[in-house]
Amino acid sequence: MSLRALLAAALLAGTTLAASAETLTVYTSQPQDQMAAVIKAFNAEHPDITVELFRSGTTEVMAKLQAEQTAGTSPADVVLIADTVAMTQLKNAGRLYAFTDAPVAGINPAVIDKDRTYFGTKLITTGIVYNTNLVKTPPTSWKDLESADAAKGTIMPSPLYSGAAVIHLGTMLQQKEFGWDYYKTLADKGAVAGQGNGTVIEAVARGEKAYGIIIEYMALNAQAKGSPVAFVFPKEGVSVITQPVGILKDSDALEAAKTFVKWQLSKPAQEQAAAQGYFPVLEGVAPPKGYPDPATLKVLPADAALMLSDDKKNKAGFADLYGG
Protein backbone atom coordinates (compact mmCIF):
# COMPACT_ATOMS: atom_id res chain seq x y z
CA MET A 1 0.00 0.00 0.00
CA SER A 2 1.32 3.44 -0.92
CA LEU A 3 2.07 6.10 1.69
CA ARG A 4 -0.87 8.13 0.42
CA ALA A 5 -3.19 5.15 0.81
CA LEU A 6 -1.90 4.47 4.32
CA LEU A 7 -2.48 8.09 5.32
CA ALA A 8 -5.97 8.01 3.84
CA ALA A 9 -6.78 4.81 5.73
CA ALA A 10 -5.47 6.26 8.98
CA LEU A 11 -7.50 9.43 8.45
CA LEU A 12 -10.63 7.39 7.74
CA ALA A 13 -10.07 5.25 10.87
CA GLY A 14 -9.58 8.36 12.96
CA THR A 15 -12.74 9.91 11.57
CA THR A 16 -14.72 6.74 12.30
CA LEU A 17 -13.35 6.59 15.87
CA ALA A 18 -14.18 10.24 16.46
CA ALA A 19 -17.70 9.69 15.17
CA SER A 20 -18.26 6.72 17.49
CA ALA A 21 -16.84 8.42 20.59
CA GLU A 22 -19.30 10.40 22.69
CA THR A 23 -19.16 12.67 25.71
CA LEU A 24 -21.84 12.09 28.34
CA THR A 25 -22.61 14.65 31.05
CA VAL A 26 -24.08 13.26 34.27
CA TYR A 27 -25.59 15.42 37.01
CA THR A 28 -25.67 13.53 40.30
CA SER A 29 -25.99 13.74 44.07
CA GLN A 30 -24.07 10.49 44.66
CA PRO A 31 -20.79 11.07 46.59
CA GLN A 32 -17.82 12.08 44.46
CA ASP A 33 -15.57 9.15 45.38
CA GLN A 34 -18.31 6.66 44.61
CA MET A 35 -19.04 8.27 41.26
CA ALA A 36 -15.36 8.12 40.36
CA ALA A 37 -15.51 4.36 40.90
CA VAL A 38 -18.78 4.13 38.95
CA ILE A 39 -17.30 5.95 35.98
CA LYS A 40 -14.16 3.80 36.07
CA ALA A 41 -16.23 0.59 36.03
CA PHE A 42 -18.52 1.94 33.30
CA ASN A 43 -15.56 2.95 31.13
CA ALA A 44 -14.01 -0.50 31.54
CA GLU A 45 -16.97 -1.77 29.50
CA HIS A 46 -17.55 1.36 27.42
CA PRO A 47 -14.19 3.07 26.84
CA ASP A 48 -15.58 5.05 23.89
CA ILE A 49 -17.83 7.16 26.16
CA THR A 50 -16.24 10.02 28.07
CA VAL A 51 -18.22 10.88 31.22
CA GLU A 52 -18.22 14.42 32.56
CA LEU A 53 -19.67 14.97 36.01
CA PHE A 54 -21.45 17.65 37.98
CA ARG A 55 -21.91 16.58 41.59
CA SER A 56 -23.79 18.36 44.37
CA GLY A 57 -26.77 17.92 46.67
CA THR A 58 -30.06 17.15 44.94
CA THR A 59 -31.47 20.61 45.64
CA GLU A 60 -28.45 22.28 44.02
CA VAL A 61 -28.57 19.87 41.06
CA MET A 62 -32.22 20.77 40.50
CA ALA A 63 -31.49 24.50 40.86
CA LYS A 64 -28.73 24.23 38.24
CA LEU A 65 -31.04 22.37 35.85
CA GLN A 66 -33.75 25.00 36.37
CA ALA A 67 -31.34 27.87 35.72
CA GLU A 68 -30.03 26.17 32.60
CA GLN A 69 -33.55 25.54 31.33
CA THR A 70 -34.37 29.20 31.83
CA ALA A 71 -31.22 30.09 29.88
CA GLY A 72 -32.36 27.78 27.10
CA THR A 73 -29.77 25.01 27.19
CA SER A 74 -28.14 22.48 29.50
CA PRO A 75 -25.12 20.21 29.00
CA ALA A 76 -26.75 17.52 31.15
CA ASP A 77 -27.64 14.22 29.51
CA VAL A 78 -28.35 12.02 32.52
CA VAL A 79 -29.61 12.80 36.01
CA LEU A 80 -28.82 10.41 38.89
CA ILE A 81 -30.20 11.81 42.14
CA ALA A 82 -31.54 10.65 45.48
CA ASP A 83 -34.96 12.18 45.13
CA THR A 84 -37.95 10.59 43.37
CA VAL A 85 -39.93 13.75 44.07
CA ALA A 86 -37.41 15.79 42.06
CA MET A 87 -37.48 13.22 39.26
CA THR A 88 -41.27 13.38 39.22
CA GLN A 89 -40.99 17.15 38.94
CA LEU A 90 -38.69 16.79 35.92
CA LYS A 91 -41.07 14.26 34.39
CA ASN A 92 -44.12 16.46 34.91
CA ALA A 93 -42.26 19.34 33.28
CA GLY A 94 -41.73 17.15 30.20
CA ARG A 95 -37.97 17.11 30.58
CA LEU A 96 -37.34 13.34 30.75
CA TYR A 97 -36.96 10.87 27.89
CA ALA A 98 -39.18 7.78 27.97
CA PHE A 99 -36.72 4.88 27.71
CA THR A 100 -39.43 2.31 27.02
CA ASP A 101 -37.11 -0.56 26.11
CA ALA A 102 -34.78 -0.23 29.10
CA PRO A 103 -33.72 -3.65 30.51
CA VAL A 104 -35.79 -3.99 33.70
CA ALA A 105 -36.13 -7.76 34.10
CA GLY A 106 -35.53 -8.76 37.71
CA ILE A 107 -36.16 -5.27 39.07
CA ASN A 108 -39.15 -4.58 41.30
CA PRO A 109 -41.69 -2.54 39.27
CA ALA A 110 -42.27 -0.40 42.37
CA VAL A 111 -38.91 1.36 41.80
CA ILE A 112 -39.57 2.04 38.10
CA ASP A 113 -41.62 4.93 36.75
CA LYS A 114 -44.65 3.50 34.95
CA ASP A 115 -43.76 5.53 31.86
CA ARG A 116 -40.11 4.45 32.01
CA THR A 117 -38.76 7.99 32.35
CA TYR A 118 -36.70 7.09 35.42
CA PHE A 119 -35.48 3.94 37.13
CA GLY A 120 -34.49 3.21 40.71
CA THR A 121 -30.88 2.05 40.94
CA LYS A 122 -30.56 1.36 44.68
CA LEU A 123 -32.60 1.13 47.85
CA ILE A 124 -31.50 3.65 50.45
CA THR A 125 -33.24 3.78 53.81
CA THR A 126 -33.21 6.46 56.49
CA GLY A 127 -32.90 5.46 60.14
CA ILE A 128 -30.96 6.43 63.27
CA VAL A 129 -27.21 6.53 63.79
CA TYR A 130 -25.78 6.89 67.29
CA ASN A 131 -22.36 7.33 68.85
CA THR A 132 -21.50 4.16 70.75
CA ASN A 133 -19.26 6.04 73.18
CA LEU A 134 -22.07 8.40 74.17
CA VAL A 135 -25.15 6.17 74.01
CA LYS A 136 -25.34 3.17 76.36
CA THR A 137 -28.90 2.08 75.52
CA PRO A 138 -29.37 1.98 71.74
CA PRO A 139 -32.58 3.50 70.39
CA THR A 140 -35.11 1.17 68.80
CA SER A 141 -37.80 3.66 67.84
CA TRP A 142 -38.16 7.08 66.23
CA LYS A 143 -39.93 8.05 69.44
CA ASP A 144 -36.72 7.46 71.41
CA LEU A 145 -35.35 10.71 70.00
CA GLU A 146 -38.15 12.72 71.65
CA SER A 147 -36.73 12.65 75.18
CA ALA A 148 -35.07 15.89 76.22
CA ASP A 149 -31.61 14.32 76.51
CA ALA A 150 -31.84 12.57 73.15
CA ALA A 151 -33.37 15.49 71.24
CA LYS A 152 -30.72 17.98 72.29
CA GLY A 153 -28.09 15.52 71.06
CA THR A 154 -29.77 14.92 67.67
CA ILE A 155 -28.80 16.22 64.25
CA MET A 156 -30.62 15.60 60.96
CA PRO A 157 -30.06 16.52 57.30
CA SER A 158 -32.04 19.40 55.83
CA PRO A 159 -34.54 18.89 52.99
CA LEU A 160 -33.38 22.29 51.76
CA TYR A 161 -30.15 20.53 50.72
CA SER A 162 -30.63 16.75 50.71
CA GLY A 163 -32.96 14.80 48.43
CA ALA A 164 -33.00 11.92 50.89
CA ALA A 165 -34.13 14.33 53.59
CA VAL A 166 -36.96 15.54 51.32
CA ILE A 167 -38.22 11.97 51.04
CA HIS A 168 -37.81 11.27 54.75
CA LEU A 169 -39.57 14.45 55.84
CA GLY A 170 -42.40 13.89 53.36
CA THR A 171 -42.77 10.28 54.48
CA MET A 172 -42.79 11.09 58.21
CA LEU A 173 -45.33 13.87 57.71
CA GLN A 174 -47.69 11.35 56.11
CA GLN A 175 -47.59 9.10 59.21
CA LYS A 176 -50.36 9.80 61.74
CA GLU A 177 -48.13 8.95 64.70
CA PHE A 178 -45.49 11.48 63.64
CA GLY A 179 -46.39 14.44 61.40
CA TRP A 180 -45.35 18.00 62.24
CA ASP A 181 -45.82 17.34 65.96
CA TYR A 182 -42.79 15.03 65.86
CA TYR A 183 -40.56 17.63 64.20
CA LYS A 184 -41.80 20.41 66.49
CA THR A 185 -41.07 18.29 69.57
CA LEU A 186 -37.52 17.57 68.41
CA ALA A 187 -36.90 21.23 67.56
CA ASP A 188 -38.34 22.51 70.85
CA LYS A 189 -36.06 20.16 72.77
CA GLY A 190 -32.90 21.18 70.93
CA ALA A 191 -32.51 19.01 67.82
CA VAL A 192 -30.69 20.74 64.94
CA ALA A 193 -30.37 20.39 61.19
CA GLY A 194 -27.12 20.31 59.25
CA GLN A 195 -26.95 20.30 55.47
CA GLY A 196 -26.60 16.89 53.85
CA ASN A 197 -26.18 13.46 55.39
CA GLY A 198 -22.42 13.98 55.39
CA THR A 199 -22.71 16.65 58.07
CA VAL A 200 -24.74 14.23 60.19
CA ILE A 201 -22.27 11.34 60.14
CA GLU A 202 -19.35 13.71 60.79
CA ALA A 203 -21.05 15.23 63.84
CA VAL A 204 -22.02 11.86 65.32
CA ALA A 205 -18.72 10.14 64.55
CA ARG A 206 -16.79 13.00 66.21
CA GLY A 207 -19.04 12.89 69.26
CA GLU A 208 -20.42 16.39 68.72
CA LYS A 209 -23.88 14.82 68.61
CA ALA A 210 -25.05 11.55 70.12
CA TYR A 211 -27.76 10.76 67.55
CA GLY A 212 -28.41 11.42 63.90
CA ILE A 213 -31.15 10.84 61.37
CA ILE A 214 -29.31 9.53 58.34
CA ILE A 215 -29.27 7.25 55.31
CA GLU A 216 -28.05 3.83 56.33
CA TYR A 217 -25.03 3.33 54.07
CA MET A 218 -23.18 6.38 55.39
CA ALA A 219 -23.53 5.14 58.94
CA LEU A 220 -22.70 1.52 58.16
CA ASN A 221 -19.73 2.48 55.97
CA ALA A 222 -18.39 4.69 58.77
CA GLN A 223 -18.85 1.87 61.27
CA ALA A 224 -17.00 -0.55 58.96
CA LYS A 225 -14.09 1.91 58.79
CA GLY A 226 -13.82 2.03 62.58
CA SER A 227 -15.90 5.05 63.58
CA PRO A 228 -17.65 4.67 66.97
CA VAL A 229 -21.13 4.58 65.46
CA ALA A 230 -23.95 2.08 64.99
CA PHE A 231 -27.14 2.18 62.94
CA VAL A 232 -30.72 1.30 63.84
CA PHE A 233 -33.67 0.49 61.57
CA PRO A 234 -36.46 1.87 63.82
CA LYS A 235 -39.26 -0.54 64.65
CA GLU A 236 -41.98 1.69 63.15
CA GLY A 237 -40.27 1.46 59.76
CA VAL A 238 -37.95 3.43 57.51
CA SER A 239 -38.36 5.81 54.62
CA VAL A 240 -36.90 4.63 51.32
CA ILE A 241 -35.36 6.34 48.32
CA THR A 242 -34.34 4.60 45.14
CA GLN A 243 -31.69 6.96 43.68
CA PRO A 244 -33.40 7.09 40.29
CA VAL A 245 -31.58 7.63 37.01
CA GLY A 246 -33.18 9.30 34.02
CA ILE A 247 -32.29 10.72 30.60
CA LEU A 248 -33.04 14.33 29.76
CA LYS A 249 -35.22 14.61 26.68
CA ASP A 250 -32.98 17.24 25.06
CA SER A 251 -29.80 15.19 25.48
CA ASP A 252 -27.46 15.43 22.51
CA ALA A 253 -25.84 12.11 23.46
CA LEU A 254 -28.92 9.90 23.57
CA GLU A 255 -27.28 6.59 22.69
CA ALA A 256 -24.52 7.12 25.25
CA ALA A 257 -27.16 8.08 27.82
CA LYS A 258 -29.12 4.90 27.09
CA THR A 259 -25.93 2.88 27.46
CA PHE A 260 -25.24 4.47 30.85
CA VAL A 261 -28.77 3.77 32.12
CA LYS A 262 -28.62 0.17 30.85
CA TRP A 263 -25.33 -0.27 32.69
CA GLN A 264 -26.76 1.18 35.92
CA LEU A 265 -29.42 -1.54 35.84
CA SER A 266 -26.99 -4.35 34.99
CA LYS A 267 -25.62 -7.00 37.34
CA PRO A 268 -22.04 -5.57 37.37
CA ALA A 269 -23.34 -2.12 38.34
CA GLN A 270 -25.67 -3.58 40.96
CA GLU A 271 -22.81 -5.61 42.43
CA GLN A 272 -20.72 -2.45 42.56
CA ALA A 273 -23.59 -0.63 44.31
CA ALA A 274 -23.70 -3.39 46.92
CA ALA A 275 -19.91 -3.16 47.34
CA GLN A 276 -20.33 0.58 47.96
CA GLY A 277 -22.82 -0.14 50.73
CA TYR A 278 -26.20 0.08 49.00
CA PHE A 279 -29.11 -2.31 48.87
CA PRO A 280 -29.28 -3.47 45.22
CA VAL A 281 -32.55 -3.34 43.26
CA LEU A 282 -31.76 -6.28 40.99
CA GLU A 283 -32.89 -9.65 42.30
CA GLY A 284 -30.13 -12.20 42.73
CA VAL A 285 -27.56 -9.62 43.85
CA ALA A 286 -26.65 -9.98 47.53
CA PRO A 287 -26.90 -6.94 49.84
CA PRO A 288 -23.73 -5.65 51.52
CA LYS A 289 -22.26 -7.72 54.32
CA GLY A 290 -24.04 -7.04 57.59
CA TYR A 291 -27.14 -5.61 55.92
CA PRO A 292 -30.53 -7.26 56.43
CA ASP A 293 -32.35 -8.92 53.56
CA PRO A 294 -34.24 -6.07 51.82
CA ALA A 295 -37.37 -8.23 51.97
CA THR A 296 -37.30 -7.97 55.80
CA LEU A 297 -37.29 -4.17 55.88
CA LYS A 298 -40.41 -2.46 57.22
CA VAL A 299 -41.02 0.44 54.88
CA LEU A 300 -43.17 3.41 55.87
CA PRO A 301 -45.88 4.02 53.27
CA ALA A 302 -45.66 7.24 51.28
CA ASP A 303 -47.61 8.91 48.48
CA ALA A 304 -45.05 10.42 46.08
CA ALA A 305 -47.63 12.58 44.27
CA LEU A 306 -48.74 14.11 47.58
CA MET A 307 -45.10 14.60 48.54
CA LEU A 308 -44.50 16.55 45.34
CA SER A 309 -47.58 18.74 45.79
CA ASP A 310 -46.57 19.48 49.40
CA ASP A 311 -42.86 19.92 48.69
CA LYS A 312 -42.63 23.73 48.96
CA LYS A 313 -44.89 23.77 52.02
CA ASN A 314 -42.88 21.01 53.69
CA LYS A 315 -39.56 22.76 53.09
CA ALA A 316 -40.94 26.07 54.37
CA GLY A 317 -42.30 24.37 57.49
CA PHE A 318 -38.95 22.70 58.14
CA ALA A 319 -37.10 26.00 57.65
CA ASP A 320 -39.40 27.67 60.16
CA LEU A 321 -38.46 25.08 62.76
CA TYR A 322 -34.78 24.49 62.00
CA GLY A 323 -33.62 27.46 59.93
CA GLY A 324 -32.86 27.71 56.24
Local confidence pLDDT in tens for the 324 residues of the chain: 444 444 444 444 444 333 357 999 999 999 899 999 999 999 999 999 999 999 998 889 999 999 998 998 899 999 999 878 889 999 999 999 999 999 999 998 889 999 999 999 999 999 999 999 999 999 999 999 999 999 999 999 999 998 889 999 999 999 999 999 999 999 999 999 999 999 999 999 999 999 999 999 899 989 999 999 999 999 999 999 999 999 999 999 999 999 999 999 999 999 999 999 899 999 999 999 888 887 788 999 998 889 989 999 999 999 999 997
SS3 letters for 206-274?
Answer: CCCCCEEEEEHHHHHHHHHCCCCEEEECCCCCEEEECCEEEEECCCCCHHHHHHHHHHHCCHHHHHHHH
Same topology, domains 3-121+242-291 and 124-240+298-322? Answer is: yes
Task: Determine contact, residues 318/180, Cβ cutoff 8 Å.
Answer: no
With beta carbons less than 8 A apart as the criterion, state whether 168 and 209 touch: no
Q: pLDDT per residue over 255-285, tens digit each?
A: 999 999 999 999 999 999 999 989 999 999 9
- CATH number for the segment(s) 3-121+242-291: 3.40.190.10
Domain locations along the chain? 3-121+242-291, 124-240+298-322
User: What pTM did the predictor assign?
Assistant: 0.76
Contact call for residues 97 and 254 (beta carbons, < 8 A) = yes
Q: Which amino acid is residue 77, in one-letter code? A: D
- Look up residue 289 and give its amino acid: K
**CATH 3.40.190.10 correct for 124-240+298-322:** yes
Interatomic CA distance for residues 1 and 7, integer angstroms: 10
What pLDDT is attached to residue 262? 98
Per-residue model confidence (pLDDT) at position 297: 84
